[in-house]
Amino acid sequence: MTKTSYVTGKEAFFGDDEIIVSKTDLKGHITYANDVFLKIAGYTEAEVLGQPHNLIRHPDMPRCVYKLLWDTISSGAEIFAYVKNRCKNGDHYWVLAHVTPSFDANKAIVGYHSNRRVPDRQALERVIIPLYRDLKKREDAFENRKDGMNAAFDDITALLQGKGVAYDEFIATI
Ligand SMILES: Cc1cc2nc3c(=O)[nH]c(=O)nc-3n(C[C@H](O)[C@H](O)[C@H](O)COP(=O)(O)O)c2cc1C
């Protein structure tokens, strides 16, 4: 499948009573997507199964958010994160994602699971959109992607330290 980061700037919406669900293997390849996922993203099931989850990555998203996500879930913990995703046609939709590891009987991580709901609009507009814009700008100021991501990650850490809160508390209270 051709990957493109073509974007329209147009926002798509899903219902307050809907949950976008997907599951992945350990490497982040999609193993399950529900109908709400397929409908909002504009893909068929056949187009998403087996694909890396960055299929729906939006180019506006700062890389450091995904670093935080992967560091957290691969350590066995869960995370809540605001994410801007790209639809197949280039539109975008915002979600509040809850991503969790799935464990086998021996407590080994066997995959990951994400449920996403409609995000709080005020939290998005007042906090998340400006924050992600700053983080992205910081990342883009570096020639090396990884250096940029690490610098933006340090910015998030400093922001949380300045507020005296952990990431989870920050997300839960905006
Ligand atoms: C269960 C699960 C759900 C994910 N959901 C999304 C998602 O909705 N959008 C997204 O861009 N990345 C999602 N990711 C993260 C992607 O795997 C990937 O790290 C991200 O798109 C950044 O891609 P890149 O590393 O190629 O820049 C998810 C990962 C997991 C394990």
Pairing label, strands 92-103, 109-117: antiparallel
Q: Are 115 and 98 in contact (CB under 8 A)?
A: yes
- Nearest 5°: the CA angle 106, 112, 114 is 140
| Amino acid (1-letter code) at residue 137 | K
Pocket of ligand 1 (CB under 6 A): 22, 24, 28, 53-54, 56-57, 63, 66, 83, 85, 97, 99, 112-114
Is residue 5 very low, low, confident or very high in pLDDT (cuts 50, 70, 90)? confident
Q: What is the overall mean pLDDT for the chain?
A: 96
Residues 79, 17: Cα–Cα separation, whole Å? 21
Global pTM exceeds 0.85: yes
Q: Is the pLDDT of residue 3 over 60?
A: no
Distance 65 CA to ligand 1 centre (A): 10
Tokens of 5: 């980061």
Encode pLDDT of 137-165 as tens digits: 999 999 999 999 999 999 999 999 999 99
Cα–Cα distances in Å, from 100 out to 23, 65, 139?
9, 15, 26
Q: Ligand 1, closest atom to CA 58?
A: 11
Largest pairwise CA distance in the chain: 46
